[in-house]
Amino acid sequence: MSNVGDGIIANSGSWTFGGDVPNSFDEHILKSVPLYAEGHELIYNLSDFFIKDDSVVYELGSSTGKLIAKLAEKFETRPNVKFIGIDVEQSMVDHANSHYKKLSNLEFINDDVLITNFLSSDLIICYYTIQFIRPSLRQDIINKIYQSLNWGGAFIMFEKVRGADARFQDILTILYNEYKLSRGYTPEDIIGKSRSLKGVLEPFSSQGNVDLLKRAGFVDINTIQKYLGFEGVLAIK
């Protein structure tokens, strides 16, 4: 067992979002992922372009529910807009439900996105989610997202990405480790987190993610945020 920071303990290759992780997740992720809060704000502002009076909005991998709850609160005056957060971890869903149960336009579901039947939607968000899905299944999920979107609807995908080649990957890794040190993590925390993510977090390159989107049918694709190996992409159907 290794300490990965913020009181979270994990074994090598066994990182999970279940158990007690929801209680410290928001603090941990804000420190671990560059521009995490800024990405939330960007999506908050982008939502005006795609959410209509009768829209369905999904967040896949909604974790503690903070992002989709922020959107649901913004559009609370539009009673026919429906927000749905889906997460495979029951403890995350329980945490989200306990914090945002007052929002009548928001629902959290414990389910696997691979088997979920999506309603026709205008906005789907994956905020650092696809990177945790087995690579062989990712195309199926992106295809499903594309098919469920209405024409003109949007898919917002934020992901950790690999460098274009080994030299760039080395640079990104070193700079990211320096970033985490500057946020108060110890070298032991950083190594422990890296070990816990072995075989769990498998990022693609930027081009690899774009290829997934294009194969699904997306044509209009644009990067909306980028910092080292952390990238947000907007794809419009």
Given phi > 0 = left and psi -120 to 50 = alpha, else beta, which region is 25?
Answer: alpha
pTM of the model: 0.91
Closest CA to 76 of 45, 38, 44, 104: 104
pLDDT digits (tens, 9 = 90+) for 214-231: 999 999 999 999 999 999
Domain ranges of the chain: 33-162+203-236
Helix (H, G, I), strand (E, B) or coil at 18: coil
Helix (H, G, I), strand (E, B) or coil at 106: strand
pLDDT digits (tens, 9 = 90+) for 57-92: 999 999 999 999 999 999 999 989 999 999 999 999
Return the half-sphere exposure (C-beta side, CA atoms, 13 A cut-off) of residue 31. 18
pLDDT digits (tens, 9 = 90+) for 110-120: 999 989 999 99
Q: Domain 33-162+203-236: which CATH class?
A: alpha beta
Residue 20: what pLDDT? 59
